[in-house]
């Protein structure tokens, strides 16, 4: 790793895909893949915040569609999320990080909900870094929620982009600059549909448990090479 990274995203998102397939290829149960996936999540988050100083990290941990998985797998995931969201451990692992949960996490088991609320409360005054954790999250549902809230408040005369953004889970945050989806799948799967509007997308053919520090570096190196014009004209005169 000799190339200096001079241009880094202010907001990076991760769709952490491939835990089950990673385990299956090794002849292991899917839950073992999730165990390694959660451990790797900790590594990548720390690297983003404390090595590269990326202010906002968003993680798609559990979608509204994930409820369709077998109960044994759901119970396993809920236990790991509950352990991960231990307030004392979270604050120790992630100093200066505020937790923001995207999605209706109150649908989860009581112990998980209790831990999540404790971390939110313990970190609410942190301003240096933000971790957006998608739990029971859907990008479409987020937009519907925002619109319904605005309707309930009877906003007039009409809504503009800035107003709508103020009703999203990511209020007052920059939009996504870069989204990484592991496992080689090339779709967003309902992830932060508003925030992803101008993001660069990266689809490494590697399962999430194997996505290590070097892979993150390579992803950021790829981001650095992208020419983000936002609809403007490039220096060469070529239209975007």
Q: Which residues form the catalytic set? A: 17, 66
Q: What is the helix (H) or strand (E) element at residue 97, kind and residue range?
A: strand 97-102
* Spatial distance between the Cα atoms of 90 and 99, rounded to a whole number of angstroms: 9
* Spatial distance between the Cα atoms of 103 and 89, rounded to a whole number of angstroms: 23
Pairing outcome for strands 178-181 and 200-202: parallel
Beta strands in 90-206 (DSSP E): 97-102, 129-137, 178-181, 200-202
* Spatial distance between the Cα atoms of 9 and 7, rounded to a whole number of angstroms: 7
Extract the tokens encoding 27: 């002849």
Phi, psi of 12 (to 5 degrees): -120, 140
For 186, other C-beta atoms within 10 Å of its C-beta total: 8
């Amino acid at each position: 790793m000799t190339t200096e990274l001079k241009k880094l995203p202010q907001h990076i998102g991760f769709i952490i895909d491939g835990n089950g397939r990673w385990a299956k290829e090794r002849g292991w149960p899917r839950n073992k893949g999730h165990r390694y996936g959660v451990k790797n999540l900790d590594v990548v988050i720390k690297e983003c915040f404390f090595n590269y100083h990326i202010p906002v990290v968003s993680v798609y941990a559990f979608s509204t569609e994930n409820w369709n998985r077998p109960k044994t797998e759901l119970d396993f995931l809920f236990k790991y999320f509950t352990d991960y969201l231990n307030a004392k451990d979270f604050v120790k692992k992630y100093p200066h990080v505020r937790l923001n949960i995207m999605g209706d996490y109150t649908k989860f088991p009581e112990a998980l909900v209790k831990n999540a609320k404790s971390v939110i409360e313990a970190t609410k005054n942190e301003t240096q870094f933000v971790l957006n954790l998608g739990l029971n999250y859907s990008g479409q549902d987020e937009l519907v929620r925002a619109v319904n809230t605005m309707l309930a408040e009877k906003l007039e005369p009409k809504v503009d982009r800035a107003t709508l953004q103020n009703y999203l889970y990511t209020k007052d945050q920059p939009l996504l600059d870069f989204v990484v989806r592991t496992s080689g799948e090339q779709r967003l799967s309902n992830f932060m549909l508003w925030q992803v509007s101008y993001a660069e997308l990266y689809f490494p053919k590697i399962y999430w448990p194997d996505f290590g520090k070097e892979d993150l570096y390579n992803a950021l190196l790829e981001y650095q090479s992208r020419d983000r014009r936002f609809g403007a004209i490039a220096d060469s005169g070529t239209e975007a």
